[in-house]
């Protein structure tokens, strides 16, 4: 049985901050993208901490690992959308650098977390 609350997980905290940053970043995008790339990026960003929280509440390491993998998938989706937005020059490149670095770090954390859960006996 998992101890503590999902809010105590550093990976959840960092992914929440990333979601906040994605909202801030996309607020400067073209109005015509409000229901396109902006909405997709925000949903992918919100999906990361949401999956971490849901998986934490499932009660088994196997289920938690599955939800962490889904969070990693959403993170990859967000990275792809971020790259497209960068290529389309929707916001200055400096905004993307920090977010892409944070995505890489969170992805490494998720990978390590999944490995830890799946290696438990």
pLDDT tens column, 43-90: 999 999 999 999 999 989 999 999 999 999 999 999 999 999 999 988
Backbone torsions φ then ψ of 109, nearest 5 degrees: -65, -45
For the chain, list the domains and their CATH numbers: 6-118 (1.20.1440.60)
pLDDT of residue 63: 94
On average, the pLDDT of the chain sits at 92
pLDDT of residue 80: 97
């Amino acid at each position: 049985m998992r101890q503590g609350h999902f809010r105590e997980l550093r990976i959840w905290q960092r992914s929440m901050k990333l979601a906040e940053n994605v909202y801030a970043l996309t607020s400067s995008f073209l109005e015509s993208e409000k229901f396109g790339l902006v909405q997709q990026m925000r949903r992918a960003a919100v999906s990361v901490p949401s999956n971490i929280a849901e998986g934490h509440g499932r009660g088994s390491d196997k289920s938690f690992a599955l939800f962490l993998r889904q969070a990693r998938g959403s993170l990859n989706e967000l990275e792809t959308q971020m790259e497209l937005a960068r290529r389309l020059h929707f916001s200055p490149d400096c905004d993307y650098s920090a977010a892409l670095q944070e995505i890489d770090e969170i992805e490494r954390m998720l990978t390590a977390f999944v490995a830890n859960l799946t290696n438990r006996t």
